[in-house]
Structure 1
Amino acid sequence: MTFFDPAILQSGQYHDWLLQGFFLSLQLLAASFVLALPLGAALALMRTSQSRALRAIGASVVEGVRNVPLLAHLLFWYFAFPELLPEPVKMALYDSNPEAICATIALALYSGVHMAEDIRSGIRAVPAAQLEAARSLGLGRFASVRLVLMPQAIRIAVPPLLSQTVNLWKDTSVATVIGAAEMMYQAARVETATFRSAEAFTFATLAYLTVSLLISLAAQLYARRFPVRTV
């Protein structure tokens, strides 16, 4: 008898749970990545700024976030952060999907500071002459950074950023501890309802493996298509 036997799955109910968890995990990945990438770029620029104050702030944020376990971040954002909000905002949060929202915030912050280091390495790999040439053409500092520095830095940083994306995808599984109904949560739910742990967790394992391999493949293809050239 297979895991997808209708007699066991009650017309596909448990199958639907696993698919819902898989899609929520993908949504957590996408939402966290969309927030983490600009955060990482901003922190990288702060850490490479000529301003000592900005460098100090950027370094403090990066070191403060990445030296705290992801689990602690999740628990803080889910249990402590809502208590700091005004009552109407807190009620609005609880009326929506607080587990997914708080998980997204924690994942975005945690991944953003790691992406910041990758982007900072990309910025440092861009020859200083590039900015000097942009300034000599009449571009201001902001325009030089936006039009000349960052496009090259991001291109150099794409392979390690994709590696961070793999880590982010795997880290979505930790959201189960605050009750976010992602893939691990739903796998455990199916296991509790059917006692078929092998099938439920095999599905989750293969899903994580498949998406991770696809992202890793994208990183390899990008590295071959756009090899980094030093000047």
Structure 2
Amino acid sequence: MNLQSFSVLAEPDVQLLFLRGFATTLQLFIVSAIAAYALGAVLVVLRMAGRIPSALVGAFVEYHRNVPSIVQIFVWYFGVPEILPASWHAWTNAHLSAFFFAVVALSLNAAAYISEDLRSGIRAVSSGQTEAARALGMGFFKAMRLVVVPQAVRGAAPALVSQSLSLLKTTSLALVIGVNDLMYVARQLDGETYATFPSYLTPTVIYLACTLTLMGIGSRLEKSTHAGR
């Protein structure tokens, strides 16, 4: 291994590129995670609201669980604009960036998994909790929002942390549609300098640090929820 190739990482311009790439990756993860958890909660409630909503949500979940994430990104970035009317297609090309489509694809994919984790958590909640909420005059959606879902989140905490880790790592696929994230910067640097190992070692270390941080936060949250019971 040529150790001189690591000298490229000492260049201020290269460090700035990686810093910007990391900022983009972080933004992509945070926005996608917020959207995914919000949509996941909605999906799990709809799945329990009746036969037709349950069937529609079930189809949504099966699609996102069985189609590769990279294909879903391509569908949203290349496919969906093509089926829109010509005026809408022109508007999306002019106003919606690759970052937007990456967020849509990643958040929908993660929401499907999150909804299933929450559904497992809801199954672990005693039916007496729901009956007590209904006895107090709460409707179905209010009982789910105030009583059932919060308890389900506590029960599904380990699985939800795993989904967060998976989402963070899946953001690396956004480079295929030109999102200027960590992996895009690494590939660009490799192509320009041929310093392959340092180029890909840098995002490796950053992703590892981020995932370990998330695991630590998840562990603390899990302990605090168990302590609060």
Fold similarity call, TM over 0.5? yes
Alignment match, 1:81: 80
2:208 counterpart of 1:209: yes
Task: Judge conservation of contact 2:8–2:14 (CA < 8 Å) in 1.
Answer: no
RMSD: 1.9
The count of residues paired between Structure 1 and Structure 2 equals: 224
- Residue identity in the other structure for 1:146: R
SS in 1 for 2:156: helix
SS in 2 for 1:3: helix
Displacement of 1:228 after TM fit? 8.6
Alignment match, 1:13: 13
Alignment match, 2:55: 56
Task: Judge conservation of contact 1:46–1:57 (CA < 8 Å) in 2.
Answer: no
Aligned pairs for 1:119-198 within 5 A = 119-198=118-197
> CA 1:229 to 1:125, structure 2 compared with 1: closer, same or farther past 3 Å?
farther
Distance 2:63 2:123 in 1: 22
Deviates more, 1:124-133 or 1:216-225: 216-225
Alignment match, 2:37: 37
Displacement of 1:121 after TM fit? 0.8
Deviates more, 1:149-158 or 1:86-95: 86-95
- Output one character per residue of 1:154-183: Cα deviation in whole Å (capped at 9) or x when no partner: 222222111101000000111111111111
Distance 1:158 1:73 in 2: 26
Deviates more, 1:199-208 or 1:78-87: 78-87
Deviates more, 1:92-101 or 1:164-173: 92-101
Task: Judge conservation of contact 1:78–1:98 (CA < 8 Å) in 2.
Answer: no
Alignment match, 1:22: 22
In structure 2, runs of 5+ residues without a counterpart are none
Give the alignment's TM-score, normalised by structure 2. 0.91
Distance 1:184 1:124 in 2: 39
> CA 1:127 to 1:86, structure 2 compared with 1: closer, same or farther past 3 Å?
same
Task: Judge conservation of contact 2:178–2:184 (CA < 8 Å) in 1.
Answer: yes
Alignment match, 1:65: 64
> CA 1:175 to 1:197, structure 2 compared with 1: closer, same or farther past 3 Å?
same
> CA 1:189 to 1:97, structure 2 compared with 1: closer, same or farther past 3 Å?
farther
- Which segments of structure 1 move beyond 4 Å, counting only runs of 4 or more? none
SS in 2 for 1:180: coil
Distance 2:137 2:102 in 1: 44
In structure 1, runs of 5+ residues without a counterpart are none
- Residue identity in the other structure for 1:46: L
- Residue identity in the other structure for 1:15: Q
Distance 1:41 1:228 in 2: 24
Displacement of 1:127 after TM fit? 0.7
Displacement of 1:20 after TM fit? 1.2
SS in 2 for 1:126: coil
Task: Judge conservation of contact 1:44–1:116 (CA < 8 Å) in 2.
Answer: yes
